[in-house]
Every structure is written in structure tokens, then in C-alpha cells.
Amino acid sequence: MDYQGAHLIRPPSEADSIILQVTVGCSHNHCTFCGTYKEERFRLKEEAVIAADLEFAARYCRRQNRIFLADGDVLILPQARLVALLTAIRGKLPWVRRVNLYANAKAVHSKTPAQLAELKELGLDRVYLGVESGHNPTLATIRKGSDAAGLLTAGRAVREAGLFLSVTVLLGIAGREDSLAHAEATGRLLAAIAPNQIGILTLILLPNTPLFADAQAGRFTMPDQRGLLEELRLMLAPLTASRCQLQSNHPSNYLTLDGRLPRDHAAMLALIDQALAGQINLRSETHRAL
């Protein structure tokens, strides 16, 4: 398979998927905490290269029934290009049951409800939407490219098209000052979006990012471990009626949660309380990673 660029990332749940790189980089590429594609100019790969990868997958990936379309932002491609791509996947890899990708709010808003439904019909299954925060001042500061209202309408559009919606949020992204406001607003936004899956990550400052430079200059301070646990608790508190999977099992987190809401809501809060009381071993700093 042809993989271009310095980093090729995928969600943890796509570990067993065929990774087909369709674009390189991210069309937005302005988020101040994200260093993944900072050195890349966003581009669509040549059709012949993608076609050759599909031929390779048709020959050697017959046991993998999911495919993840990399890099950061395949959904931003024109509808005709996506229709051709999904049709080619169905034709070449008929055993593939699910086609999944990352998206941002702008990419979702670039599609009409009918277009999203058409993509669903052609095999698109799961959309991973980076929400990060529901707190508008934080979303503006980190240059997410969308406010909370935009993230809400994007998330709902994905759900209304019948697609599986997985969202990620980031503990620590608002810094110490706006920590609690970020957690409360993010909990409210998650409850309103009602995604199928919530993935919680904890900010790790990467040296090639503007946020790292802010931290070095004293303009940004991460909450401490206790502050991050309090954020987690506040985010979870309003999710009493949510029906979704919730995971904080990414290695960036100090505390692992993995369960279903609303079933495990009380147990998750109790676990956070135990962590706050110092009764649980948290992931050590040396074992945290992106």
C-alpha cells in the first residue's frame, strides 16, 4: 500500500481495518494543539495510486471486512469523487462491510442530507468527528474552525443520515483557567449531539504546535491530574440519558473508563471519585502517549 506524509494515523478501533490513504494531510490544519499534518499540504492522491492500492487490498486483504479512509479529512472531497471511490471499493472489495473516516464540521456541512444519505447507501458507515470542546472561547482559541453550534449541527447531520457517529473530546485543552467551563460546556454539547460513541483523550503538548509554544511562553498551563479528573467528572455528569459507548482508554489518559451509557454512568462517576480520593493507580506520565 502507498502511504505518504510524515504521519499516518487512525482511530484505535480501526486497528484491524484496511487503511486506504486517499488524501494526505488535513484541509483545515489550523488546530493549535494538532501537530499531525503540520508539515503537509493537503492533497488528493492520484487516482492511479488509489486504484493500485485497491488492487493490492483485493489480493491480500480478504480477511479484513472494514476499511478506513485516511488521512484527516476525506469527507471534504467533492461528492462525485466520494461516490466513485465508494463504488470502486464495493466493486473491488465486496466483502468489506464498513467504510469509515475522519471528518470535521466543515466537511460535514459541505454535504447535503441527501448526499450524506447517498454515501451511507454506498457503504460509508462510521464518521469520527473531532469535537474537542463545547466551550466557544476554547474552540476559538484552539482554532477548531467551528463553534459549538456548528459541531452540534454537524453531529446531528451525521446521525440523521443513519451513520455511526464517534466523537472525541480533549481533557485539558482549555488550560487551567477555563478548565471547568470547558468541561461543563462539553458535557452539555455531548448530551445534545447524542453520538453513538464518545472517545475521551487528554491533551499532550506536541513540540511542533502553537499550543506547545504558548505553554513554553507561559501563556497556557495544563490542569494538573486532579484538575483533569474533575473535568472528566463534570463532562460525564450530564450524560445520564445518553445511549452510547464511552471510552477513555486512549493511552493519553490517566484514568481508563470503558463502558456503555446510561448503564455504566453511576459506576463511571464512582470510579472517578475513587481516583480523586487517591484510591486508584493512575497511568504514569511515562506510559502516556498519543
Residue 202 binds to ligand SF4 (criterion: CB under 6 A)? no
User: Of 40 and 53, which has the nearer Cβ to ligand SF4?
Assistant: 40
Residue 155 binds to ligand SF4 (criterion: CB under 6 A)? no
- Mask for 91-110, x = binds ligand SF4 (CB under 6 A): -------------x------
**DSSP string for 66-97:** EEEEESTTGGGS-HHHHHHHHHHHHHH-TT--
Residue 141 binds to ligand SF4 (criterion: CB under 6 A)? no
- Smallest distance from ligand SF4 to CB 171, Å: 15
Contact 126, 163 (CB under 8 A): yes
Residue 72 binds to ligand SF4 (criterion: CB under 6 A)? yes
**DSSP string for 113-129:** HHHHHHHHHTTEEEEEE
Judged by CB under 6 A, the residue of 130, 155, 223, 227 near ligand SF4 is 130
Residue with cell 466483502: 95
Torsions phi, psi for 258 (to 5 deg) = -160, 105
C-alpha cell at 227: 484538575
User: Of 126 and 233, which has the nearer Cβ to ligand SF4?
Assistant: 126
- Smallest distance from ligand SF4 to CB 87, Å: 26
Which range binds ligand SF4 by CB under 6 A, 27-35, 206-214, 246-254, 277-285? 27-35
Residue 26 binds to ligand SF4 (criterion: CB under 6 A)? yes
User: Of 99 and 131, which has the nearer Cβ to ligand SF4?
Assistant: 131
- Smallest distance from ligand SF4 to CB 107, Å: 9
- Smallest distance from ligand SF4 to CB 28, Å: 4
Separation of alpha carbons 65 and 98, rounded Å: 7
Judged by CB under 6 A, the residue of 28, 111, 120, 188 near ligand SF4 is 28
Return the closest-CA partner of residue 285 out of 222, 234, 215, 219.
222
Q: Identify the three-state secondary structure at position 102.
A: strand
User: Of 5 and 130, which has the nearer Cβ to ligand SF4?
Assistant: 130
53-83: string of b/e by CB count within 10 Å (b at 16+)?
bbeebbeebeebebbbbbbbbbbbbeeeebb
Contact 232, 272 (CB under 8 A): yes
User: Of 61 and 139, which has the nearer Cβ to ligand SF4?
Assistant: 139
Binding positions for ligand SF4, 29-48, rule CB under 6 A: 29, 31, 34, 36-37
- Smallest distance from ligand SF4 to CB 40, Å: 10
Separation of alpha carbons 88 and 75, rounded Å: 16
C-alpha cell at 45: 492522491
User: Of 28 and 182, which has the nearer Cβ to ligand SF4?
Assistant: 28
Residue with cell 448503564: 263
* Chain positions contacting ligand SF4, by CB under 6 A: 26, 28-29, 31, 34, 36-37, 72, 104, 130
